[in-house]
Amino acid sequence: MIYTNIDNFYVTKEELDNSPSHRAGVEPEVVTQLRTYGCELIQEGGCLLKLPQVVMATGQVLFHRFYCKQSMTEYDVKDVATTCCWLASKLEETKRRVRDVLAVFHRIYRRREGRSLEPLDIYSKYYETLKAELIRVERIMLRSFGFIVHVEHPHKLVLNHLHLLGGGNLLMQEAWSLANDSLRTTLCVRFKSEAVACGIIFMAARRLQIPLPEDPPWWELHNVSWGEVVEVASEVYALYQRPKATYEPVGKPAGAPSPGALPTPMASPATAQGTPAASRQGGGSGGVLQNGDSAHAGGGSSGAREPVGSGEGRDGAPAQVLGSGSAERAGDSDRGTDDHSPLRAGERQRDIGRSSARGSAGDERKAPRHTPIPPFRRN
């Protein structure tokens, strides 16, 4: 038998009260407030990106699931909300570009903080940092979920059930709005979509004072108990009694580089090419500089080139000499020859001749051969 139901990410009330954020010392009121704040960010960002409602709903469910596995002190709510919106757009096959998602949420954050609405510069270092953080959080999120990101929403169940009950458009609109607001609570990770849909229908009918059939009970159509219906309706009602959610930092600031970020590439010890900071790590006398130049060691000749570093390479071995004739002169002293001897001068002339011949031959091989175009002649 093939098991196809992968909508199995549900936790109990006790497990939710013992989430990683609670164990990290975050107050329960702050956790609830930040959960609501992150869902509001996803909803607002999705509207500005012109995404369908199913994308915002999926993003909010992923947001609640993530903080059932990870702590708010380790991953900022703003970074996670941006990542959830981007990941949900890909899951629902309405993908938006990374630059568009980051620009929209950048504007939302600045407007909520009362700052000037300057557009995000996509060629700045700040943009590269935000992009790297977005991709990093997405990978951690997928790994935390075990790459199971299937989501079942109560919206379609609400509309179908009200259509069977003969509910009017006003009741359907009220139930749809309540279903969207219920995503700001933890109902999506505590109850299945059938239970949430029944609680939403019950609350919408009570607010509009529309009676529903109770003999037989209508909620038993989805195998939902009366206790679950009342608990869902109470949770949504408590949401409207709380004040507007605001951001409260509990961990590292949003967009800050993480300790697990990729390190800056170091410069090569032979070519000294790389980042400017790595290229200056030679330090002091004898350090390798940019553009292939080397610093002269103190007390040495001003015209001679010195080895890389302080005279010795790794493991005590002599370092490479960047000069052109130092190694040859050292070898000549062992053989007992002199630079000004006729034998040495003749060898240098032959070496120069061979190098010139090889260089000219290589230039001829590398140079493209163009066929001359004959001049145009009139007949």
pLDDT in tens, the chain (379 residues): 344 455 678 999 999 999 999 999 999 999 999 999 999 999 999 999 999 999 999 999 999 999 999 999 999 999 999 999 999 999 999 999 999 999 999 999 999 999 998 999 999 999 999 999 999 999 999 999 999 999 999 999 999 989 888 778 899 999 999 999 999 999 999 999 999 999 999 999 999 999 888 888 888 888 899 999 999 999 999 999 999 999 998 876 655 544 434 333 434 334 344 433 433 344 443 333 333 343 333 444 344 444 334 444 444 444 443 344 444 444 444 444 444 444 455 555 565 555 555 554 444 454 455 555 555 555 4
**Looking at the DSSP assignment, which residues form a beta bridge with residue 217?**
214
In a domain, 1, yes or no: no
131 and 218 share one domain:
no
Amino acid at site 344: R
Q: Is the peptide bond preceding residue 52 cis, with omega within 30 degrees of 0? A: no
Is there a contact between 56 and 43 (Cβ–Cβ < 8 Å)? Answer: yes
User: Quick one: 104 exposed, middle or buried, by C-beta within 10 A (0-12, 13-18, 19+)?
Assistant: buried
Nearest to 85 by CA among 115, 50, 116, 126: 50
Nearest to 155 by CA among 240, 294, 56, 224: 56
In a domain, 201, yes or no: yes
Is there a contact between 74 and 251 (Cβ–Cβ < 8 Å)? Answer: yes
pTM over 0.95: no
Measure the CA angle with vertex 355, ends 351 and 357; round to 5°: 115
pLDDT at 378: 54
Cα gap 359→351, rounded to integer Å: 12
80 and 201 share one domain:
no
Q: List the CATH number of the domain containing 28.
A: 1.10.472.10
Measure the CA angle with vertex 64, ends 196 and 144; round to 5°: 125
Cα gap 264→137, rounded to integer Å: 20
Cα gap 119→188, rounded to integer Å: 35
pLDDT at 167: 79
Cα gap 119→104, rounded to integer Å: 9
Using DSSP, state whether 289 is helix, strand or coil. coil
Phi and psi (nearest 5°) for 358? Answer: -65, -40
184 and 102 share one domain:
no
Cα gap 85→228, rounded to integer Å: 29
Q: Which residue has the tokens 């959080």?
A: 137
Q: Which residue has the tokens 């030679």?
A: 282
The per-residue b/e assignment along 262-278, b for 16 or more CB within 10 angstroms, e otherwise, is eeeeebebeebeeeeeb
What lies within 8 Å, CB to CB, of 199 at 6+ separation is 182, 187, 191, 228, 229, 230, 231, 232, 233, 235, 236
169 and 63 share one domain:
no
135 and 31 share one domain:
yes
Q: How many domains does the chain have?
A: 2
28 and 113 share one domain:
yes
Domain boundary among 97, 126, 145: 145
What lies within 8 Å, CB to CB, of 272 at 6+ separation is 279, 282, 288, 289, 290, 292
In a domain, 21, yes or no: yes
In a domain, 211, yes or no: yes
In a domain, 186, yes or no: yes
In a domain, 336, yes or no: no
In a domain, 215, yes or no: yes
136 and 171 share one domain:
no
159 and 141 share one domain:
no
30 and 100 share one domain:
yes
In a domain, 299, yes or no: no
Domain boundary among 206, 226, 241: 241
Q: Which domain holds residue 51?
A: 13-145
Nearest to 218 by CA among 234, 232, 198: 198
23 and 66 share one domain:
yes
Domain boundary among 186, 217, 241: 241
200 and 76 share one domain:
no
166 and 94 share one domain:
no
